[in-house]
């Protein structure tokens, strides 16, 4: 894809699932990577192995790869992580706000601390990372890219997951607000909204029976793969998407198309 080679990219939550696939895909595009992990650098082992495998397939990638520790629910960590990225790579061109968590509970029973934690990681953390990246983009004389990894639950209400739904709903407005505010500075802000994707965040990923049940609700009849999320993330960050800002691209096999309407609701229709 145009414009990714040699770009410096920070990916939050790069140890697993979609973040890991995004890291490997950007590596194959020749980007330099700052891979975010929490606490234990060994958590990046699988990501590094995947990057190596994918780079072998394309006979080497050529980009740099550094690790940056940080908990995105902590402001001080975010500031340090962004500064470290800039120090290690020389600058930052693309931020991928991918780290995310979810907690399930009936909304009337949800603990305040669980509510706060989800908002703090998924929404406040993404905003603070964007804030630090944008400061840097402006300091060095404009231009830069933020991609938020949102969810179909940006627009589909998800009972039992009210904090997750609120966090992703908020992310939609954050994407639009930042995109509008910084468009004159050539800073683009977009989001991808994955549908059900086979990653460790979902208990059904490795359970064939549960997975079948989940996939029965998806118009295209299957879950998405982390790689399918990674390629669209790379597209939005590339020069091929140079005129797109403030948008959420749904990558969901048709999940947001009101699947219940696939079959007529009453005889005679």
User: Where along the sequence are the contacts to ligand NAD (CB under 6 A)?
Assistant: 12-13, 15-19, 36, 38, 71-73, 98-101, 121, 149, 151, 194, 196-197, 199-202
Name the residues annotated as catalytic: 164
Q: Assign residue 25 a region: left if phi > 0, alpha if psi is -120 to 50, beta otherwise?
A: alpha
- Closer residue to ligand NAD, CB minimum distance, 56 or 164: 164
Report DSSP state, residue 122.
Answer: I
- Closer residue to ligand NAD, CB minimum distance, 44 or 62: 44
The nearest distance, CB 74 to ligand NAD, in angstroms, is: 8
The nearest distance, CB 100 to ligand NAD, in angstroms, is: 2
Contact criterion met (CB below 8 Å) for 18 and 44: no
The nearest distance, CB 122 to ligand NAD, in angstroms, is: 6
- Closer residue to ligand NAD, CB minimum distance, 1 or 155: 155
Which residues are within 8 A (CB) of 245 and not within 5 positions of it... i.e. 6 or more apart?
179, 183, 188, 189, 190
Rounded CA gap, 119 and 87, in Å? 29
- Closer residue to ligand NAD, CB minimum distance, 138 or 205: 205
Rg of the chain (C-alpha set): 18
The nearest distance, CB 186 to ligand NAD, in angstroms, is: 26
Closest by Cα among 154, 159, 179 to 236: 179
């Amino acid at each position: 894809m145009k414009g990714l080679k040699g770009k410096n990219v920070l990916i939050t939550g790069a140890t697993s699932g979609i973040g890991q696939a995004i890291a490997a895909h950007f590596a194959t595009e020749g980007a330099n990577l700052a891979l975010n992990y929490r606490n234990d650098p060994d958590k990046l082992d699988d990501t590094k192995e995947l990057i190596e495998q994918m780079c072998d397939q394309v006979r080497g990638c050529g980009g740099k790869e550094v690790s940056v520790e940080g908990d995105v629910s902590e402001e001080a960590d975010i500031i340090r992580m962004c500064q470290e990225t800039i120090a290690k790579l020389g600058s930052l061109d693309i931020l991928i706000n991918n780290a995310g968590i979810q907690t399930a509970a009936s909304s009337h029973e949800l603990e305040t601390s669980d509510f706060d934690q989800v908002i703090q990681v998924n929404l406040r953390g993404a905003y603070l990372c964007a804030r630090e990246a944008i400061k840097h983009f402006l300091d060095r004389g404009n231009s830069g890219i933020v991609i938020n990894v949102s969810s179909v639950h940006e627009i589909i209400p998800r009972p039992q997951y009210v904090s997750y739904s609120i966090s992703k709903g908020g992310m939609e407005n954050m994407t639009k607000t930042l995109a509008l505010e910084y468009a004159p500075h050539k800073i683009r802000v977009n989001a991808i909204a994955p549908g059900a994707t086979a990653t460790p965040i979902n208990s059904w990923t490795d359970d064939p029976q549960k997975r079948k049940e989940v996939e029965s609700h998806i118009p295209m009849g299957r879950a998405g793969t982390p790689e399918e999320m990674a390629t669209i993330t790379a597209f939005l960050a590339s020069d091929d998407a140079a005129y797109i800002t403030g948008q959420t691209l749904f990558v969901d096999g048709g999940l947001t198309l009101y699947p219940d309407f696939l079959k007529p609701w009453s005889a005679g229709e």
